[in-house]
A = this chain, B = another copy of it.
């Protein structure tokens, strides 16, 4: 397994010594997923924080009516998984699944705690990472309320130009908070208007 991707993402924010790098890598469990396979199923307790090394995963939530609601797409360089379940060790309400053949690195909860205890630089790294992630989520919230579905679709395409090629449209619709039928309408309207 290639660790250069995850290390370069970390060293964008903090500097690591060789020792810190080595220890960090020693904690990670590499795993390969084929398209459609699960990294985490809802109902299970989340034991690992997940880093995407290559490929693409999505996390979704199945509501009472049985509808899947896509919360997040995660491609190379992203952390994903259910933080709430990881923190509280309650069963997760989310499912995380590979949209393409993917390589992921699992950081088990107890190992992560060891890491944070031992090398303070990782407290800093995760503080910065969560802080940035929070900003992203705030933006998505504004996006969801202030824009129409069509605007959200445009913004999605700008932001994730590579995703649309291999993510089924129904999941994109779900991510945008609309039905696949309505996304179809938007796309059709676009075609005729140029």
A-side interface residues toward B, CB under 8 Å?
61, 63, 67, 69, 71, 83-84, 87, 116, 120, 123-124, 126-127, 130-135, 137-142, 144-146, 177
Chain B residues in 8 Å Cβ range of A146: 61, 63, 67, 69
Alpha-carbon separation in the docked complex, A170 to B140 (Å): 22
By secondary structure, the A interface counts as: helix
Counting every copy of the chain, the complex holds 2
Question: Which chain B positions have C-beta within 8 A of A83?
Answer: 131, 134-135, 138
Of A130, A142, A144, the most chain B CB neighbours within 10 A belong to: A130
In angstroms, Cα B84 to Cα A123, docked, is 20
- Nearest-CB distance from A33 to chain B (Å)? 22
Name 23 A/B residue pairs within 8 A (Cβ), A-sorted.
A61-B142, A61-B146, A63-B146, A67-B146, A71-B142, A83-B131, A83-B134, A83-B135, A83-B138, A84-B138, A87-B131, A116-B127, A120-B120, A123-B127, A126-B127, A130-B134, A133-B134, A137-B137, A140-B141, A141-B144, A144-B144, A144-B145, A145-B177
A68 to B5, CA, bound (A): 41
> B130, A137: Cβ atoms under 8 Å?
no
List B contacts of A139 (CB < 8 A). 84
Q: Is the CB of A142 within 8 A of B84?
A: no
Contact A134:B135 (CB < 8 A) given known A63-B146, A126-B127, A146-B69: no
A126 and B124 alpha carbons, distance in the complex (Å): 9
In the complex, A116 Cα to B123 Cα: how many Å? 10
Residues of B within 8 Å of A140, CB to CB, are 141
15 further interface pairs, Cβ-Cβ under 8 Å (given A61-B142, A83-B135): A61-B146, A67-B146, A69-B146, A71-B138, A71-B141, A84-B135, A87-B131, A120-B123, A123-B123, A124-B127, A130-B131, A130-B134, A134-B134, A144-B144, A145-B177
